[in-house]
Structure 1
Amino acid sequence: MRGAAMSLTAAASGFVVFLLSVSVIQGQNGWRVTYTSTQICAFKGSAVEIRCSYTYPSTINGLVTKVKKRFWFTELGNGESVDLTTISEYTQRVQYHSENNDCTLRISDLRERDSAEYKFRFITNHSTGKYTGSPGVTLSVTGLQVQVSRLEVSWSSNWAELKCQSSCPLPGHPSYVWYKNGQNIQGQTSDSYSASFYPADSFSCAVRGHEDFPSPSVLIQGQYGLGVTYTSTQICAVKGSTVNIPCSYTYPSSIGGVATTVKEIFWFIQQFVDLKTVSEYSGRVQSESNNNDCSLRITQLRKRDSAVYKFRFTTNQGGKYTGSPGVTLSVTGLQVQVRKSSNQTELKCQSSCPLPGHPSYVWYKNGQVITGYTSDSYSASLDPADSFSCAVRGHEDFPSPSVCEFTYSLPLT
């Protein structure tokens, strides 16, 4: 393929980035697939085009070669090759372009769980005429995070250097947008931002053209050299899972020539009571204390763990500091909601708060796993006697209650 390029197109705008790359070819005896690139990083919410072309012998043993089927796939856990257009979570998000031996794949409304290796396969009228382009194209879909790369606090001022980071290198040197307390910071287009801040200021960032998909807000707190930084102030987690609440804290190295040391650190919900001393959290909480890391880990989450968690520390100089407003943790179970039409029933696996990272789901029919369905919805013609439940993949021990096809909806628990 000469002059081939990969394009990354925003789903909601005309923003396009073109990347020139070297073609990668797999082929033998006239059978060939040419991928423009085997590594692509794309932004969550955008659309990606994975370009390729394919060739095959015009005739074999005097019989003209005809292509009977062509499709893109990602290998399932059982090694099965399933056409993307038949998988529910890709419905209306994938398009194939197949004119003149072009095998371009387009995926819109990208989600982080779309990260996978994609391969093109075609089948001809010959008994041995099947070919898959391997190793395929590895797509990495990334969101954004604000990292505090440098922090300076003193009695009179606070200063921070922030970095807008992604899990893979975005193409084309994108331009960024920065937000302070939800308001656009004019004139800031770099992936880094440095400024002084007040105790309650929060910061987030986005790629220009993808402002609908900003990073979580980072709250930087500081007063007289004492400060707590929460990575996020809102966290949703599945009942039965483990949650990590990232946090860091700072304090002046010395006051009046006397070195500052930390006497006590703890997390609490109310009345400054250390969670580790609360019986219902016994054996389920861990907190870090190395290198000013104050991250909290809670295992075997229960619905009643939903609360506002705050970190507090005291020093030998009489300094006491509580990171407010804290982190609101919402622990949710799952519930199957049923919506019926004239000839079909749609099931939706719902939670009481938005789960992070676009999780993958498991569906059960009469207690048995329904293979090939990883979306939060499932549609089919159902028998009235069937029962259905769902779970988040990785947390199968905590499925939703089972519902029957005639049940229309249930409240979330």
Structure 2
Amino acid sequence: MCSTSCPLTEDPAAFVWYKNREFLYEDWSPWYQELVSSEEAVRYSCAIKGYEDLRAPEVSVDFVSPNCYSVTYEKGKMCSHQLKSVDEPCSVTYPRDVRVQLTSERYHVALSCDTSCPVTDPNPAFWWYWDRKLFCCCNSQNITSFNIKANIFSCALKSNEDLYSDETCRDASSCKKVNYVHRRICAPEGSSVDISSVYTYSAGGGTKLWYKKMQNVEENDADLLTVAEGRVEYHDKKNLHTLRLIDLQKNDSGEYIFSLKENYKENEPSQSPHVMLIVTGLKVTMNPSSEVTQGQKVTLTCGTSCPLTESTTYVWYLNGQPLSGPVNQNKHVLLDPVDCQHAGNYSCAVRTPDFISSPEEVLTVKARGKSVTIMNGVKVAVLLLIPPVVFTLYFMMRKKQAASASVKLREKEQAEQVE
């Protein structure tokens, strides 16, 4: 993710990504949206559009595995000060999974927030949630508590709150556990999206409800989503409950909460993370600009405000007609070198499975040596503007000159014969 040390005043802000110090793409999402390479020579960096000279320190991906990924930062300020000097490179290994290990005894509960690989920071911090309320943030990965009344436990790494563990119950006989299939979803405006929760409700009853709350509001200030709203569907199958939102609009962005309730009017506050939905539009961007000269390199990007899934299929159009070839399926189109035939109106679309299209953007391509072309055109234009009478006088004069030359040639031949 491309992060800044202070809030950005421009909303939305555009982020520029670089690979080996060359422009890669530009987008509104701060999250990197391409497949990363673990090759030693590949380095990545980012900047805010308009401040490209102020780039983030370069990073390289050392390795990616099902459990971990390791990143090397050019500057050690991204790591703990006890790990490396801020002026030297440093490497950090991040887990890809977090889970709670629970051991319940008669008078106490032992908890461990286990990660899928060791955390390299010597002073990691962990968020602990008990009964979906924030219990504490502490440096300890292990907690032992006596006379505890909570039944549902979960945890997260403070430096990576998006990596949140599934809920674990102390007493399975009275467990109302709620876990989400995906906690962060990006979907195009106008499409449909499924938000799913896997639940456990051993009592076999309860009302299954979905709520939506906007950002920066109180937890209890959430709207109940009902089928009567027209764009909302509920689907329930084998402890998998799905909220389907149809024809997404920008104001559908927000946090979505699934709840199992014994009483319809019950409203249990929850401080644990839920599902964040971001609805994005599509926009074609052109780098270095939308007006280029023949022979330059131009990158077209189907931009979004958040990263769509890697399996997203893109379709590109030029003047309303689909582009041909494998380039048509990519998020980016590279025109290198660009030619006059590439000029026109470009748009992109994604399959969701319906096609959601972007507005058209115009690419203007100037011919090389334009000034020479103009001068040649002027010469031709001037020649064509000469009146026909001038052509008549010109050919009559040439005819007279030819006749005079012919007479002189005959006189010379006669003189030579006399001699």
TM-score, length-scaled by structure 1: 0.45
Higher Rg of the two aligned structures: 2
> Which of the two has greater strand per residue?
1
TM-score, length-scaled by structure 2: 0.44
> Which of the two has greater helix per residue?
2
